[in-house]
Chains A and B, each alone.
Chain A
């Protein structure tokens, strides 16, 4: 123990005058009594002890001396540690990742870390300086080097835990960079479950960060907060539209049991708060179980998975069942895109099979004309144009499904007829060829198309002619088949509506690669909805907790439409993006849709709240060491002085004349 203000110990010399005052016989009160014959007998029986005769109230003197010494000790500001144990420049890294939200009897891990950090700040010696860094996926310097304790306390109090995974390596590098100009530095890392191997790697990282003078590299001290706890979490949650069914969608759900005992759980699945499924699962220790659920819905919405009734088996007979300790991974969200209606223009002299096949498709809004439109405006407003036999001289913009073309166009030329074609190759891997086999279709003859643009041939005949081709251009996608619906028996085959369905599904643009939910701690990229104004320059991004930020829209290119990139999604939940210009200029119209982005903590390492066997908190590495050490000794001394004062007051009252 050392003293922050050793000169205050001189106050202890006041014990001498206190003792002298006790030795002096001061004038006492005169109390008349009727007779002293009883008092005389009392003092004849119990004479005062000669050793302490001069000390009229020995206990009182003792208490007062102790009181003085205790107050002297408090004024001297005693500390458990000395400046030599610490460094002149210290950096506190607060792990603000999601696992720090785990609760136990002592509170959340982050609260423990924050309390420990506050105590470290309160114990700074004169001349020492401290910086505070928060570490989740991104490192933030909350406070530069300072010795101003109130500012440090405020910064640490304002620090908040996030739903993001941690990147401690980056944080340690930042801290080391801060300490590089100083030869005497120390890094205090308040985190939870960090394996010893990882700790050694971080320590080596500190050494390497100052390669010039490894001897003066900062020391890394890991302070582990909390205790090992079981947890069950959602470690994957995605949704996507079905590639086969225009109304269907598929949900991927994965649960991980980060516990040493089996667990049973009930998972509720809701779409826009409407319950659509309940799944009951049981998982063995350390087991991850995933499910793929297929559902139907034309409307989009927010899909939410929520874990309820989590029951861990008893670890041992008689022991209480463990509780799930982390709430952040018990809920997950995903955005299910809406399946909009497909506006189709059928330009055909008339074919009942083709018309009925299109009408049979769900969500198809069909318009039919029998002659080619005269103006370009008549082509606009459609998601797909089906050209049957009629081919305009100039192809309209947009997606095209061309059946049995009878004329040339900029994409192809007719190059004669092929009699009795024999199909020799079908690319079954293409989504357009799902469940498609034209081998048995009777085809008397077919026109040979010579493509002027790059085309992908999905069905080839023995004469190397294509029966189904795909042309993809920046401004359009085009499917061309020369099969005649009147000469072949294709329309009467089952494969015909399947072919039309595959084509419509392909044109509808279901992006199975599209991410329905982002991971917390990452940034998300999103395309602006088609109904937004093309002049939208900036958007407002609102977090699930209501915090708003503004982002600039990136300009679109010929290949990719305009989009935005969010910052790091530190909160789990549904983020919303709305256009700034649309709100200001559109005014009351305000019909612009809101782009929604889901963010989930789907990180197995964050869901695993167990400490590695070699990293269980010990007396030296747990936060309680810092906290218990951090209780100001002067405060304890003052409390003890109050107790002594109370005792002395009690003695004083006892010897008063009432």
Chain B
């Protein structure tokens, strides 16, 4: 079962833990860079003609004679966009990769809704296949879980660029975008994430992979069937070739990490056997490191 009976309890615990440990570092309580009508003091600036005298700091003026305007940090709702890969590669082996992706999406959505932020879900493969619009409020978690439960990894090939392009065509307000995918896109992932960065989105990449994808236990004659393209390749796998495969896979993983590090993107890479709680905690930890 994708969401067992204690799933909500685990989500609540996870939400509490995330707030206690990573307060204001991920979701709604993250301060915007805008100053304005907030209630929390930010700093002072020189008074300029036309400024609202209500914000003049009279105490400083009385003591020092300087005219300084108090500035406040404006708090805005954070929009969280969860992009879940529904390509067929996510259903590899026992589908544990896709299950974990949906559980992680549900967890993050719950945390966001619990912090009074807005969350939206997008399922993509070669494009956006289905979506759940922005919603707010803790009570919206159930519709989100139903939405995730109804998702199937039956899409075509992983088309990360097409999915993100269609996502951007919807003109979403800038916010936090979490891409949950295996990133097995022959066209690459860099251009897609570049688009999100250019549009001012905070991007966090959650890359999931199966253990058999990282270290396949294959030797001898085999007819490889690509789950996404359906193409078949008859090969003889030797230990030498297997080692080369593992080198290429590790290089791909390293490329994702290096890209995210270079552009300040959050990045979490995890095998499918990890529990969603530990993955979310790892993700928050990496986000905290990225922001610091």
**CA–CA, A32 to B92, complex, Å?**
8
Within 8 A of B (CB), among A625-658: 654-658
Q: Are B225 and A655 in contact (CB under 8 A)?
A: no
Q: Are B221 and A56 in contact (CB under 8 A)?
A: yes
B contact face: mostly helix, strand, loop, or mixed: mixed
Chain B, Cβ-Cβ closest to A651:
B220
Q: Are B225 and A33 in contact (CB under 8 A)?
A: yes
B231 partner residues in chain A, CB cutoff 8 A: 36
Q: Are A38 and B252 in contact (CB under 8 A)?
A: yes
Least CB distance, A40 to chain B, in whole angstroms = 7
Assess whether B186 is interfacial by the CB under 8 Å rule.
Answer: yes
Given A32-B92, A33-B92, A40-B233, are A657 and B222 also a contact pair (CB < 8 Å)?
yes
Chain B, Cβ-Cβ closest to A658:
B217
Least CB distance, B160 to chain A, in whole angstroms = 13
A654 partner residues in chain B, CB cutoff 8 A: 219-220, 238-239
Given A34-B184, A45-B244, are A657 and B219 also a contact pair (CB < 8 Å)?
yes
Q: Are B226 and A42 in contact (CB under 8 A)?
A: no
B229 partner residues in chain A, CB cutoff 8 A: 36
Q: Report, nearest first, the 9 A-B pairs whose CB atoms are least far apart.
A: A655-B220, A34-B89, A35-B184, A34-B92, A36-B226, A28-B221, A658-B217, A38-B248, A31-B222
Q: Are A35 and B89 in contact (CB under 8 A)?
A: yes
**CA–CA, A634 to B219, complex, Å?**
35
B92 partner residues in chain A, CB cutoff 8 A: 32-34
A32 partner residues in chain B, CB cutoff 8 A: 92, 224-225, 227
Q: Which of A29, A42, A57, A658 contacts B223 (CB 8 A)?
A: A29
A40 partner residues in chain B, CB cutoff 8 A: 233
Q: Are B218 and A34 in contact (CB under 8 A)?
A: no
Size band of the interface chain A makes with B? 20 to 34
What would 16 A/B residue contacts be, using CB atoms closer than 8 Å? A30-B223, A34-B210, A34-B228, A35-B184, A35-B227, A39-B224, A39-B245, A41-B248, A43-B241, A48-B236, A57-B236, A654-B220, A655-B237, A656-B220, A657-B217, A657-B222
Assess whether B99 is interfacial by the CB under 8 Å rule.
Answer: no
Assess whether A316 is interfacial by the CB under 8 Å rule.
Answer: no
B213 partner residues in chain A, CB cutoff 8 A: 33-34
Q: Are A39 and B249 in contact (CB under 8 A)?
A: no
A30 partner residues in chain B, CB cutoff 8 A: 222-223, 225, 232
Given contacts A33-B224, A34-B92, A657-B219, 16 further A-B contacts (CB under 8 A): A28-B222, A31-B218, A31-B222, A32-B225, A32-B227, A33-B216, A34-B182, A36-B229, A36-B233, A37-B186, A38-B249, A39-B233, A39-B235, A39-B245, A45-B244, A655-B237
**CA–CA, A276 to B220, complex, Å?**
83
Within 8 A of B (CB), among A1-60: 28-43, 45-46, 48, 56-57
Assess whether B64 is interfacial by the CB under 8 Å rule.
Answer: no
Within 8 A of B (CB), among A263-291: none
Q: Are B225 and A31 in contact (CB under 8 A)?
A: yes
**CA–CA, A211 to B224, complex, Å?**
86
Which residues of B line the A interface, CB within 8 A?
Answer: 89, 92, 158, 182, 184, 186, 210, 213, 216-229, 231-241, 244-245, 248-249, 252
**CA–CA, A40 to B232, complex, Å?**
11
Q: Are B234 and A42 in contact (CB under 8 A)?
A: no
Chain A, Cβ-Cβ closest to B182:
A34
Q: Are B238 and A43 in contact (CB under 8 A)?
A: no
Least CB distance, A579 to chain B, in whole angstroms = 85
Q: Are B239 and A38 in contact (CB under 8 A)?
A: no
Q: Which of B158, B221, B244 contacts A655 (CB 8 A)?
A: B221
Least CB distance, A39 to chain B, in whole angstroms = 6
B252 partner residues in chain A, CB cutoff 8 A: 38
Q: Are B241 and A42 in contact (CB under 8 A)?
A: yes
Within 8 A of B (CB), among A462-498: none
B234 partner residues in chain A, CB cutoff 8 A: 28
B227 partner residues in chain A, CB cutoff 8 A: 32-35
**CA–CA, A349 to B204, complex, Å?**
149
User: 0/1 per residue, A110-151, Cβ < 8 Å to B?
Assistant: 000000000000000000000000000000000000000000
**CA–CA, A471 to B224, complex, Å?**
123
B239 partner residues in chain A, CB cutoff 8 A: 654
Which residues of A line the B interface, CB within 8 A?
Answer: 28-43, 45-46, 48, 56-57, 654-658
Chain B, Cβ-Cβ closest to A38:
B248
Given A28-B234, A43-B235, A56-B236, are A36 and B224 also a contact pair (CB < 8 Å)?
yes
Chain B, Cβ-Cβ closest to A45:
B244
B158 partner residues in chain A, CB cutoff 8 A: 35
Q: Are A656 and B219 in contact (CB under 8 A)?
A: yes
Q: Are B241 and A46 in contact (CB under 8 A)?
A: yes
Chain B, Cβ-Cβ closest to A26:
B221
Least CB distance, A52 to chain B, in whole angstroms = 11
Given A42-B248, A46-B244, A655-B238, are A35 and B186 also a contact pair (CB < 8 Å)?
yes
**CA–CA, A30 to B233, complex, Å?**
9
Chain A, Cβ-Cβ closest to B158:
A35
**CA–CA, A45 to B223, complex, Å?**
19
Chain B, Cβ-Cβ closest to A39:
B224
Least CB distance, B60 to chain A, in whole angstroms = 63
B210 partner residues in chain A, CB cutoff 8 A: 34
Chain A, Cβ-Cβ closest to B231:
A36
Q: Are A42 and B224 in contact (CB under 8 A)?
A: no
A35 partner residues in chain B, CB cutoff 8 A: 89, 158, 184, 186, 226-228
Least CB distance, A368 to chain B, in whole angstroms = 114
Chain A, Cβ-Cβ closest to B246:
A38
Least CB distance, B183 to chain A, in whole angstroms = 10
**CA–CA, A101 to B107, complex, Å?**
90
**CA–CA, A34 to B96, complex, Å?**
13
Q: Are A31 and B223 in contact (CB under 8 A)?
A: yes
Least CB distance, A58 to chain B, in whole angstroms = 11
B233 partner residues in chain A, CB cutoff 8 A: 36, 39-40, 43
A656 partner residues in chain B, CB cutoff 8 A: 219-220
**CA–CA, A204 to B245, complex, Å?**
80
Least CB distance, B232 to chain A, in whole angstroms = 8
**CA–CA, A655 to B158, complex, Å?**
31
**Most interface-central of B210, B227, B240 (chain A CB within 10 A):** B227
Q: Are B184 and A28 in contact (CB under 8 A)?
A: no
**CA–CA, A32 to B244, complex, Å?**
19
Chain B, Cβ-Cβ closest to A654:
B219
Q: Are A655 and B236 in contact (CB under 8 A)?
A: yes
A45 partner residues in chain B, CB cutoff 8 A: 244
B249 partner residues in chain A, CB cutoff 8 A: 38
**CA–CA, A28 to B182, complex, Å?**
28
A48 partner residues in chain B, CB cutoff 8 A: 236
**CA–CA, A521 to B216, complex, Å?**
80
Given A30-B225, A36-B229, A43-B235, are A657 and B220 also a contact pair (CB < 8 Å)?
yes
Chain A, Cβ-Cβ closest to B220:
A655
A46 partner residues in chain B, CB cutoff 8 A: 240-241, 244
**CA–CA, A184 to B182, complex, Å?**
86
**Most interface-central of B210, B217, B221, B240 (chain A CB within 10 A):** B221
**CA–CA, A46 to B245, complex, Å?**
12
Least CB distance, A142 to chain B, in whole angstroms = 59
Chain A, Cβ-Cβ closest to B97:
A34
**CA–CA, A33 to B216, complex, Å?**
9
Chain B, Cβ-Cβ closest to A57:
B236
B223 partner residues in chain A, CB cutoff 8 A: 28-31
**CA–CA, A31 to B222, complex, Å?**
6
**CA–CA, A28 to B158, complex, Å?**
27
A31 partner residues in chain B, CB cutoff 8 A: 218, 222-225
